[in-house]
Amino acid sequence: MAKERKGFVIYGDIKEVTDELTDAQVADLFRGMLDYFITGKEPKFDGVLKFVFIPIKQQMDRDAQRYIEKCEKLKENAQKRWAKEKGMQLDAIDTNTNTKTNTNTKTITNTNTTTNTKSRGGGASDGDEFNLWKQLDADGIDAIYNAYPESGGFLIEEVAADVRVKKKRVKNAVSYILGYAKRVGWDDNADHFDGGDLS
């Protein structure tokens, strides 16, 4: 059950239940919760703990499902952003191909192909070379989400903004982003999206 999650929530309303249990029962219950979180196997409780654990397990399952849905939504948003940035880059280029073919009576064919590539607006934007999103592909985004499943999209956004503002040239976007996270002590469990909209 744990997969990429590093922890689980214990809600305060459980105190009403634990106040009615012995210290040994509370210890067993907590160990059972940890075991269930790490292994996904339901503990074999007897007596009252068997019934106490049912709503706790249900809440842990709901929290795990919400976590998975949130990670998928953040990943999907990052991939949409990447696709949008890549699409804008391709839309900014006009490609005209002229092909001339000269054939003589000896059936020898000479083909000359001329390709003219022009960027709309007369040239590449100065900001394009500092756009980190244009260096990322789906595998790169996956690598960042594997390292930071809770906040990969926010990490990419922060680093991309930093690169744009400081006009840094980045050779390997994934390495740079992961290095940045390490340098600043990026906390994947911090609430980077507090009050934010996942849509």
What's the pLDDT tens digit per position in 31-90?
Answer: 999 999 999 899 999 999 999 999 999 999 999 898 888 888 888 888 888 877 777 655
Decide if 6 is inside a domain.
no
C-beta of residue 40 within 8 angstroms of C-beta of residue 1: yes
Quote the longest CA-to-CA distance of the chain.
Answer: 102
Q: How far is CA 11 from the centre of its chain?
A: 27
Decide if 59 is inside a domain.
yes
Q: How far is CA 132 from the centre of its chain?
A: 15
C-beta of residue 153 within 8 angstroms of C-beta of residue 78: yes
Rounded distance between C-alpha atoms, residue 72 and residue 66, angstroms: 10
Question: What's the whole-model pTM score?
Answer: 0.44
pLDDT at 126 over 80: no
Decide if 136 is inside a domain.
yes
What tokens does 84 get? 């949008």
Average pLDDT, the chain: 76
Q: 127-149: per-residue pLDDT in tens?
A: 566 777 777 777 888 888 888 88
Q: Are strands 109-119 and 93-103 parallel, antiparallel or unpaired?
A: antiparallel
Q: Is 67 exposed, middle or buried (0-12, 13-18, 19+ CB in 10 A)?
A: middle
pLDDT at 198 over 60: no
Domain that holds residue 45: 12-93+123-184
Decide if 7 is inside a domain.
no
Q: How many domains does the chain have?
A: 1
Decide if 61 is inside a domain.
yes
C-beta of residue 25 within 8 angstroms of C-beta of residue 46: no
Percent of the chain residues topping a pLDDT of 90: 21
C-beta of residue 131 within 8 angstroms of C-beta of residue 164: yes
Decide if 189 is inside a domain.
no
Decide if 116 is inside a domain.
no
Nearest alpha carbon to residue 25 among 56, 47, 54: 47
Number of H helices, E strands in the chain: 6, 2
What tokens does 95 get? 């490609």
Decide if 71 is inside a domain.
yes
Percent of the chain residues topping a pLDDT of 70: 72
